[in-house]
Amino acid sequence: MEHYIFPDSGIPAAYGPYSHAVVAGDYVFVAGQTGRDPQTGRVIEGDVGAQTQRTLEIVREILGQLGLSLSEVVRTTVYLKSIDDFAAMNGVYSAMFQPPYPARSVVQVNMPFGALVGVEAIAYRKGIGDSRRPVRGEVKCCWVL
């Protein structure tokens, strides 16, 4: 398994002790992200649509650092502070992903730091396996056996 964090990028630093992404075989597990500003680390101003857009941009950037795109995402979990925001989130989500859409669950939860939405994702790297796809940019990586 490979664990990745992406310092010195447009990806906000982790709030706690976790990796931005973990590669296990042909799968990439992206940790839950919120729509944060990479400079301040704070959730961006705006409604759930703006926060969904920023959140998915961060997920896309994490995947991009690993040579992937949103088209390789096979599953997402979307966390909403209020299920009443489903339609607004869904409008942005459907514009960011293209058919065939990944499998998805949407749940209402208490979100940290004023976030209105969070997204975690699983992507599939067909036939690539561990360590065979180049990683862009400066990456700090630790190996876990």
The SS3 assignment for 127 reads coil
Cβ atoms of residues 72 and 123 within 8 Å: yes
pLDDT of residue 128: 55
pLDDT of residue 130: 45
**Which residues in the chain come in under a pLDDT of 70?**
127-145
Cα dist from 76 to 33, 42, 121, whole Å: 11, 23, 4
Domains of the chain: 2-143 (3.30.1330.40)
pLDDT of residue 134: 45
pLDDT of residue 74: 98
